[in-house]
Structure 1
Amino acid sequence: MELYELLEQVVRTFERLGIPYLVTGSVASMAYGEPRLTNDIDLVAGIRAEQVADLLIVFPAETFYLSEEAVRMAIEQQTQFNIIRPTSGLKVGVMVRKETPFDRSRFARARKLRPAESYQAAFASAEDVIIKKMEYYREGGSEKHLRDITGMLRISGAEIDDTYIAEWADRLGLRPIWDMIQQRLKDRP
């Protein structure tokens, strides 16, 4: 199963079950920036405990790894669970939506994009993807996040709201990272 076919299955399932979601991470950064190799799909979802049984039916143990215990714990602790297709190694990381000002903002700013001709999906805005990638860079120091951000800014820069990013960078303590990214873009020919 290809990455975008799995994404379609998850999107259609979440929409049918009434689970608000956003595609984020590398799949979203590729939608706004440069392509790169990935076997992961990252989503943020407002999943509730009463929807877990339906998820387990749609992603059965014969085909997928999906731990009911992990899903319930992720909902309770507002963390993450995975849906894995063992035969392909594809993984969907589902981060449970938190009731924070940033999550409320990014859900309000969702964009409908068409990752394939057969469907549309709700994507986090380019700005919100950049903000989260700055947070991940701060947590782990991985250069891939900075490459994704600079690729997005090079490809979609004219449509990206720098003021929005700067405001959230200040609120979330990410200003030094945002300033460093801006400097890198200026230094590149």
Structure 2
Amino acid sequence: MDQAELLKFLVRNLERLQLPYAIVGSFASGIWGESRFTQDIDVVICPSLAEVEALCKAFAAPEFYVSPNAALEAVRDRSQFNVIHLDSGNKIDFMVAGKSSWNIAQLDRRKSIALFEDQNGFVAAPEDVILGKLIYYREGGSDKHLRDIAGIAKISGETLDLQYLEQKARELEVFETWQAVQDAVRES
């Protein structure tokens, strides 16, 4: 199962389970900006304990590996767990939304878009993808996140809600990095 097939399988199961979600990370930055290869699919969810049990069953062995215990712990701790497609090694990182205003806003602001000819799915709004990438950069320092942000700023820049983005960037303490990326995009 390649990544596109895994994404379609993921979205169909989340829709069937009626579990609110937003695709984030590199898949989302590729939709709003410049696409690049990624090793996994990142998705934000906010399930109950019962919903996460049903989600784990949708990704059952022998095709997939998922630890139901890790998934339940992630819901309780508001952290993350993953699912691995065993034949391909492709991975889904499920990030359980925290309780901050921005975590909640990601799911409220998500956009339904055509991911495939026959399949719509929910993707985090471009501003929230930028904010997530700014946080990833702060935590890990990888320049790939800055490139993703710059790609979104170049391609979707005219449509960005800058007031929302700047307010949340200040709250999340990533405003200076956001300003530096904007300056670099203007200079290029």
| TM-aligned CA deviation for residue 155 of structure 1 | 1.1
Q: Aligned AA for 1:63?
A: E
| TM-aligned CA deviation for residue 171 of structure 1 | 1.2
Distance 1:20 1:56 in 2: 15
How big is each residue's C-alpha offset from its partner over 1:157-177, in whole Å with a ceiling of 9 and x where there is no partner?
111122211111111111110
Are residues 1:12 and 2:12 paired?
A: yes
The alignment yields a C-alpha RMSD, in angstroms, of 1.1
- Normalising by structure 2, we get a TM-score of 0.96
> Gaps (5+ residues) in structure 2?
none
Distance 1:107 1:100 in 2: 12
Are residues 1:58 and 2:58 paired?
A: yes
Distance 1:60 1:7 in 2: 16
- Normalising by structure 1, we get a TM-score of 0.95
Distance 1:10 1:81 in 2: 14
Q: Aligned AA for 2:145?
A: H
Q: Which runs of 4+ in 1 moved over 3 A?
A: none
Distance 2:56 2:182 in 1: 44
Is the 8 Å Cα contact of residues 43 and 93 (structure 1) preserved in structure 2? yes
Q: Percent identity?
A: 38
> Gaps (5+ residues) in structure 1?
none
Distance 1:114 1:48 in 2: 27
Alignment of 1:105-124 (within 5 A): 105-124=105-124
Q: Which 10-residue stretch deviates more, 161-170 or 77-86? A: 161-170
- Structure 2 match to 1:3: 3
Is the 8 Å Cα contact of residues 110 and 124 (structure 1) preserved in structure 2? yes
Alignment of 1:1-189 (within 5 A): 1-188=1-188
How many residue pairs get aligned? The number is 188
Distance 1:107 1:78 in 2: 15
Is the 8 Å Cα contact of residues 133 and 149 (structure 1) preserved in structure 2? yes
- Secondary structure of the 1:173 match is coil
Is the 8 Å Cα contact of residues 81 and 93 (structure 2) preserved in structure 1? yes
Is the 8 Å Cα contact of residues 14 and 20 (structure 1) preserved in structure 2? yes
| TM-aligned CA deviation for residue 98 of structure 1 | 1.7
